[in-house]
Amino acid sequence: MMFLLYHIGSEFMNDEKLQSIDILTFRRDLLSWYKENKRDLPWRQDQDPYRVWVSEVMLQQTKVDTVIPYFNRFMSKFPTVEALAQADEQVVLKEWEGLGYYSRARNLQNAVKEVATKYNGRVPDDAEQLGALKGVGPYTKGAILSIAYNQPEPAVDGNVMRVLSRVLKIESDITQQRTKKLFEVYARKLIDPQDPSSFNQAVMELGALICTPKSPACLLCPVQAHCQAFVAGTEEQLPVKKKAKKQKNIAYVVLLAVDDQDNYIIEKRKEDGLLANLWQFPMVPIKEVEWVHLENWVYNEYGLEITLGEKQGKLKHVFSHLIWHLEVYEAKLIKKLSKSNRLQLVSKQELTNYPFPVPHQKIRNSLYEKEQNM
DNA sequence: AATTCGGGGAC
DNA sequence: GTCCCAGAATT
């Protein structure tokens, strides 16, 4: 009896799902479609593991069309492991400016430095060594091993979970960690040992072009004949995914503090947490600071003596987990007492040398327009 | 297991 | 407005 219960809960279920399709035909149909329809993307020019690595990190939670220009600029600036390893972090962040999830850039460079020193510049083709690198999780590890090194390792991302949840009609919540592990088990059994690189890319390409989140193009799908959700007519209900909770709202006053020579005060953010090590105009959390105490708070917190000027505008910026409400004010910088190098006084033109998060890029850009219509 | 990490595009 | 994207690290 114990034996029976154990198997219903684990291996038996896996085999049952896979028995619903002919694996060899599935591979053939998927791969022949991929070879005909794959997009010509910059990181598909070759199988250079460094280029694959950079592309996979940039593509984390980020659409292909967004990544392409960033990837091209990044690779021309840092063509090799050595080039990226030797670069200044601020230069790397400047190339990443606007792409988001900036710890990706810092972790990537950290890992590349480790590859340069510990592995003599060669990206490991070993799962354990690869997975130990900063920013290389289960997906990126599998992607590099399969795409660059042709190893039959699963690379389960959102596309793969969507495609497989439909093909195999799996109704588990894909936000759960154990569900992702389940998909890795299936992917490992489905992957074509003859061409793991193309197979993994083909599943993702199918997810991006055909098996889309909404209104999937099932009539054009090369594996429609294998799809259990299509048979049931439930493809639009899959995958099952728990909703994210709402963001928190935070209000700030942003200070465009200018000295008598038209230089702006900017600050470097903390080295961890949100937008780590990026630059911004000073921000005052206005819910915690009374308006009448604002100048005083700036003096104590920043070591800046200012007089608040006119309101220039406002803007809202939505992050994944919070929303910034920014009110932009001019200010006159009377005196800078702080000696901290995280606080810099720079000219309007020099502002573009620093990596800014998007909301502060918008404020910065408004400085270059005669009309400040924000 | 939950939260924290950005930003943009499709709808 | 909602969803979600070639996810990982942290708590």
CATH of the domain at A9: 1.10.340.30
Rounded-to-integer distance, Cα A119 and Cα A107, Å: 17
Q: Which amino acid is at A178?
A: R
| Residue A222 pLDDT grade (very low, low, confident, very high; cuts 50, 70, 90) | very high
Q: What is the mean pLDDT of residues A72-82?
A: 98
Whether A226 and A285 map to the same domain: the answer is no
pLDDT band at residue A370 under the 50/70/90 scheme? low
- Name the percent of chain A in helix, strand, coil, to the closest 5: 50, 15, 35
Instruction: Answer whether residue A105 shows pLDDT above 80.
Output: yes
- Helices A158-167 & A196-209 angle (0-180, nearest 10): 80
**Residue A12 has what pLDDT?**
40
Would you list the DSSP string of A84-107?
HHHS-HHHHHHHHTTT--THHHHH
Domain total in chain A: 2
pLDDT per position as a tens digit, A1-40: 233 333 333 434 456 777 667 999 999 999 999 999 999 9
Nucleotide lying nearest to A52, CA to C1' measure: C6
Q: What is the pLDDT of residues A202-218, one digit of tens each?
A: 999 999 999 999 999 99
For residue A4, the model assigns a pLDDT of 31
Residue A327's pLDDT is 97
Same domain flag for A232 and A253: no
Query: What is the pLDDT, as a whole number, of residue A369?
Result: 81
- If asked whether residues A323 and A285 sit together in one domain, one would say yes
In a domain, A321, yes or no: yes
Q: Where do we find the tokens 């000219």?
A: A347
Does residue A314 fall inside a structural domain?
Answer: yes
Looking at residue A10, what is its pLDDT?
40
Chosen domain end from A216, A237, A258: A237
Tokens read off for A205:
């390409």
Q: Which positions in strand C are less than 7 Å from the protein's CB atoms?
A: 3-9
Angle value at C-alpha A49, between A44 and A50, nearest 5 degrees: 100
Task: Provide the CA A157 to C1' B6 distance, Å, integer.
Answer: 18
- pLDDT over 90 (residue A85): yes
Helix (H) or strand (E) holding A163: helix A158-167
The domain containing residue A276 runs over which residues?
248-366
How far: A63 CA to B9 C1' (Å)? 9
Residue A56 annotated to the active site: yes
pLDDT of residue A15: 63
A242 domain residue, yes or no: no
**CATH number of the domain to which A310 belongs:** 3.90.79.10
| Close Cβ partners of A294 (under 8 Å, ≥ 6 residues apart) | A253, A284, A286, A308
Nearest partner of A265 among A358, A360, A372, A357, judged by Cα:
A360
> What is the secondary structure of A349-367 as a DSSP string?
GGGGGS---HHHHHHHHHT
Q: Nucleotide B9: nearest residue by CA–C1'? A: A63
Residue A119 included in any domain:
yes
Handedness of CA A279, A282, A283, A288 (dihedral sign): positive
Task: Please report whether residue A126 resides in a domain.
Answer: yes
Q: Which of A16, A36, A56, A327 is catalytic?
A: A56
Contact A174, A241 (CB under 8 A): yes
Whether residue A10 is found in the same domain as residue A48 = yes
CA distance A18 to A188: 11
**A147, A290: one domain:** no
Query: Tens digits of per-residue pLDDT, A140-194?
Result: 999 999 999 999 999 999 999 999 999 999 999 999 999 999 999 999 999 999 9
| Mean pLDDT for all residues in chain A | 93
Nucleotide nearest to A104 (CA to C1'): C8
> Do A260 and A208 share a domain, yes or no?
no
Residue with tokens 């924000």: A374
A373 is a domain residue: no
Q: Please choose, from the candidates A152, A223, A138, A146, the residue with its C-alpha nearest in 3D space to the C-alpha of residue A191.
A: A152
Each residue of A252-290: pLDDT tens digit?
999 999 999 999 999 999 999 999 999 999 999 999 999
Domain boundary among A207, A237, A267: A237
- Residue A158: per-residue pLDDT: 97
Q: How is residue A312 written in tokens?
A: 């220039």
A59-71: pLDDT as tens digits:
999 999 999 999 9
Task: Tell whether A351 and A218 lie within a shared domain.
Answer: no
Could you list the protein residues whose CB lies below 7 A from any atom in strand C? A 41, 43-44, 55-56, 59-64, 101, 103, 107, 134-141, 143, 157-159, 162, 201, 204-205, 207-208, 213, 241, 243, 320
B9 C1' to A264 CA distance, Å: 33
Residue nearest to nucleotide B3 (CA to C1'): A321
User: Closest CA to B11 C1' — which residue?
Assistant: A214
Domain boundary among A217, A237, A257: A237
Please name the residue that has the structure tokens 């309007």: A348
